[in-house]
Amino acid sequence: MDKTYNPHELEQRWYHRWEESGCFRPTGQGEPYCILLPPPNVTGTLHMGHAFQHTLMDALIRYQRMRGRDTLWQVGVDHAGIATEMVVTRQIEAEGGKREDYSRDDFIDRVWQWKHESGSTITRQMRRLGASADWSRERFTMDPDLSEAVTETFVRLHEEGLIYRGPRLVNWDPVLQTAISDLEVVNSDEQGKLWSIRYPRTDGRGDVVVATTRPETLLGDVCIAVHPEDARYRELVGQTVELPLTGRRIPVIADDYVDPEFGTGCVKITPAHDFNDWEVGARHDFQPINIFTPTATINEQAPGRYRGLDRFEARERIIADLKAEGLLIEEKPHAMVVPRGDRSGQIIEPYLTDQWFVKMDELGELGLELVESGQVEFVPGNWINTYRHWMENLKDWCISRQLWWGHRIPAWYDEQGNIHVGRSEDEVRARQALDADVVLRQDEDVLETWFSSALWAHSTLGWPDPKRMASEGFERYLPTSVLITGFDIIFFWVARMIMMTGHFTGKVPFEQVYITGLIRDSHGQKMSKSRGNVLDPIDLIDGIELEHLVDKRTSAMMQPHLAKRIEKATREEFPDGIPAFGADALRITFTALAGHGRDIKFDLARCAGYRNFLNKLWNAARFTLMNVGDEALPVPAEAELDTLSRWILSRLNRTIVEVEQALSDYRFDLATRALYEFVWNDFCDWYLELSKPALQEAAASADPATARATRHTLARVLETTLRLLHPFVPFITEEIWQRIRVPAGVVGESISQTPWPEAGDPDRQAEADAEWLKEVISAIRSARTELNLAPGKPMPLLIEEGSPSDLARMERFGGLIRSLARLEHIEPADNRHDPATCATALAGELRLLIPLAGLVDVAEELARLSKQLEREEKGLEIVAKKLANERFVANAPAEVVARERSRQGEHQAAIADLTGRIRRLQQVGQAANPP
């Protein structure tokens, strides 16, 4: 083995072997365990959030697979309608072509071609991370069978009256020219303006002043509204005003939607271009006046001079005209909320179109019930509040998109405009008994991507085809065990899956939903291209040169002026680029950070720390292999095990239990920490060091039984630890395991197919012995350092006082203490030793004296002892205060009181000892330096 752990080569090698061996497929044996991968966009590349979540999923999958569960990780990607069209359109434009030159079929062909060439980037990257998914079952939302599920769902919902089509005000993206759902609109706080406009009264008795942030929409105003209780305007209701620039007259109405406190208390009502106004208009029976074309230019409903202007030009023109007519009273800055499309970033228009909707009342109730009844459980539990709030305020779901890439809506129109919904045109004709000469035209729209991903749980398991359901394991794997995802798609996906799977299968899609935190940069900032703080997980695995990183972060910027700042920050933060940490180090960093908080700050220093940890593990393995040879070791009987071997096995058993508990609570951080501490603090820092004396040639021939037990324990503990670590760091554990399995006497092809270790009982006696031993060694080392004694130089140790058990332990472990604390010999103190020539350390009641060559530096030793005394006195004070409290003694549990009492005794003894020692030293000091 190399001296230093080097992840790159071994990671590549092992993934291929695993995948080829088929060990990621479900075995069909054991209790099923299934995780659905939230299908990433086909256009996507692996970002930190994916890498994080995939690591958690893979850790669970590998863990459960080792525990003998029949494990299925269902992976796949979704077709991402808008995103994919944008990517392909950009590609066409980059080649000098134009999207408009493509027919629908040609464009779709082109998208498929793109998908075949570039659509598997993210799944390749998942393999780099070590994701142990069953790739033979990978699915795409546009696969024929998943498309069939989409059609079936649409038709059935339509038959049940849960899907309808109609003219509604929807969120319209005038650039992409499609409707989008409420969820795809992001409300952004922006600085806008508020204009106050004068509407002259037609009776000549003055004006009505309204405030608006969108003056261009006045072309579509149908009335002015005031609050019914607003005394100022009571006489105005029922009157008419002149709508500026149009020559139209509109009435003033009363509606309690109006907030009398805001602005002038008068509101212009534009039902076709504002969701609230739509409601108001409907209440008062106004016909909405749509003034926009689909690209948000002014249409023929408006006076001629504005027609053809886009919405922003129209605003300028209207402001100018109002000013010219003296109707503009005021223009002031105004903080407002602007709706923007999450994909295009464009300002969204409320726009009147015909769209398809899913009725949400019934489905929403079902979705709520499935969670409230506990059939689906959120982890952490608070997320139920978020879910509940949304489910209780559902609006109908606009599912049609004016795109080409996606599942085309299975609805056909005849020439009379009748709508026929069916699984195919043939089915529609047959069912409606339509003659062959009746012309049918299929709806041009497609369904939004989330409609198909909502079916992911049951459609990937074969629904609705009974034959496929049987072969894919529909009954076996549904409900799946747990869904792991971020809170950002609770509404988009989680809720819709619960409703759809619940509605169509009567089952829940998953029993638990583990909501992960969001990965941020080390300062807590969201990672984004425009902030220039994005880390690419692949760069953390492979490393990246500074120049390349700078290029990556500053190229193709939406706002090029930020590039300079980003470059500077990047050069400061990563002066040497990013080193190659390897996939395992990245993975275990993620699991270590995966607490139950909402944000996860990703710090490269943590990643480096875990890379170092893996290097430590690597070297512990080197040491072990060096000592155990490469043949199967004889297995010692329990009775032959030495105390320290029993101790490390006991600690190992406790670690197994801790990891299991942590994983069942989705506390990946605690699981990781338990393993880190065991490997580093127990196994490396103590057991390996304590094993060295026993393995030395002379010692081994003097006590072959202990040497044998030690060798076997080294191999056994290392091998078991590798299995515990394997779900988190699959590559390095496989690499080492292949070398240790023979000496450890374990059979198997791959660590990924070995069973998860079973925890035995802890050995309290061995633990107590080891703790004592560690305390004594640490006390000596500490004294040594504090007195500036040469660390390597052997020295004698004298012992005083001590309980019989101290003395017995000293007898048993003296050799180890000598070796680890670098002592010459240990012997009982006697009167020959002048305290002035010794330093003292305390371990429990045991007093450890270190004779010094010359006189001890009295001042220094006094300072040291006083510090210890102070500490003990403080401890005693706290304990004594408690015990002096009668109510504590009366009320606290007996064991707590007893513990305090024994502590009190310990402190008192230590204080007596230290005080005596200090007094003697002071006398010596005075004798040496008379005043």
Partner RNA sequence: GGGCGAUUAGCUCAGUUGGUUAGAGCGCUGUCUUGACAUGGCAGAGGUCACUAGUUCAAAUCUAGUAUCGCCCACCA
| Residue 73 vs 676, nearer CB to RNA | 676
Which residue type occupies 211? A
**413 in contact with RNA (CB under 7 A):** no
Q: Give the bridge partners for 561, in sequence order.
A: none
Instruction: Determine, following the binding rule CB under 7 A, whether residue 872 of this chain makes contact with RNA.
Output: yes
Q: Is 375 in the site for RNA (CB under 7 A)?
A: no
**912 part of the interface to RNA, by CB under 7 A:** no
SS3 labels along 53-69: HHHHHHHHHHHHHHCCC
Question: Does 778 interact with RNA (rule: CB under 7 A)?
Answer: yes
By CB under 7 A, residue 394 contacts RNA: no
Task: Say whether residue 528 binds RNA (CB under 7 A).
Answer: no
Q: Could you give the CA distance from residue 773 to residue 644 in angstroms, rounded to a whole number?
A: 10
Pick from 188, 275, 369, 834: which binds RNA (CB under 7 A)?
275
Distance CA 341, CA 337 (A): 13
Does 597 help bind RNA (rule: CB under 7 A)?
A: yes
| H/E run at residue 173 | strand 163-173
Residue 599 sits in the site that holds RNA (CB under 7 A):
yes
Comparing CB distances to RNA, the nearer of 27 and 785 is 785
Q: Tell me the window of 89-97, 370-378, 386-394, 535-543 that interacts with RNA (CB under 7 A).
A: 386-394
What does residue 112 show for φ and ψ, rounded to 5 degrees? -60, -40
Binding status of residue 598 toward RNA by CB under 7 A = yes
Write down the least CB distance from residue 221 to RNA, Å.
10
Taking contact as CB under 7 A, which single stretch among the options 238-246, 260-268, 307-315, 922-930 is the one that binds RNA? 260-268
Nearest one of 184, 160, 187, 162 to 171, comparing CA atoms: 184
3-state SS, residue 204:
coil
Contacts to RNA from residues 174-233, by CB under 7 A: 182-183, 187, 210-214
CB of 336 to RNA, least distance (A): 4
Q: Are 865 and 914 in contact (CB under 8 A)?
A: yes
Residues between 668 and 707 that touch RNA (CB under 7 A):
669-670, 673, 680, 684-685, 688-689, 692
* Site residue total, RNA (CB under 7 A): 91
Q: Is 887 in the site for RNA (CB under 7 A)?
A: yes
Write the DSSP symbol of residue 706: H
| Interface residue with RNA, options 907, 913, 917, 924 (CB under 7 A) | 907
β-strands 223-226, 248-254 pairing: parallel
Write out the two tokens for 179: 């409707």
CA dihedral (473, 476, 478, 483) positive or negative:
negative
Dist. CA 406–CA 147, nearest whole Å: 9
Q: Indicate the residue type of 910.
A: A
Q: Determine which residue in the list 26, 251, 265, 636 makes contact with RNA, applying CB under 7 A.
A: 265
Distance of CA 81 to the CA centre of its chain: 25
Which residue from 332, 467, 523, 764 is in contact with RNA, where contact means CB under 7 A? 523
What is the C-alpha to C-alpha distance for residues 736 and 85, in angstroms, rounded to an integer? 46
Question: Least distance from C-beta 549 to RNA, angstroms?
Answer: 20
Using the rule CB under 7 A, give the single segment among 172-180, 379-387, 728-736, 827-835 that binds RNA: 379-387
Indicate the residue among 61 and 620 with the shorter CB distance to RNA. 620
Q: Does 664 bind RNA (CB under 7 A)?
A: no
Q: Using only the alpha carbons of the chain, give its radius of gyration.
A: 38
Q: Which residue, 138 or 857, has its beta carbon nearer to RNA? A: 857
Q: How far apart are CA 438 and CA 780, in angstroms?
A: 99
Binder among 46, 267, 497, 707 for RNA (CB under 7 A): 267
Interface residue with RNA among 283, 874, 919, 920 (CB under 7 A) is: 874
* Sign of torsion over alpha carbons 134, 140, 141, 147: negative
Q: Which is nearer to RNA, 429 or 596 (CB)?
A: 596
Q: Should residue 791 be labelled a site residue for RNA when binding is judged by CB under 7 A? A: yes
Tell me if 901 contacts RNA by CB under 7 A.
Answer: no
Nearest distance from C-beta of residue 645 to RNA, angstroms: 16
Give the integer Cα–Cα distance in Å for 149 and 147.
5
Q: Is 622 in the site for RNA (CB under 7 A)?
A: yes
Contact between 336 and RNA by CB under 7 A: the answer reads: yes
* Contact region with RNA (CB under 7 A), list: 43-51, 639-647, 827-835, 875-883: 875-883
Binds RNA by CB under 7 A, chosen from 419, 430, 626, 702: 626
262 binds RNA (CB under 7 A): yes
Alpha carbons 571 and 563: distance in angstroms, whole number: 12
Residue 500 · residue 53 · CB < 8 Å: no
Buried b / exposed e along 744-754 (16+ C-beta atoms within 10 A): bbbeeebbbeb
Smallest separation, CB 185 to RNA (Å): 8
Would you say 366 or 897 has its CB closer to RNA?
897
Asked if residues 579 and 543 have their Cβ atoms less than 8 Å apart, the reply is yes
- How many angstroms separate the CA atoms of 215 and 323, rounded? 12
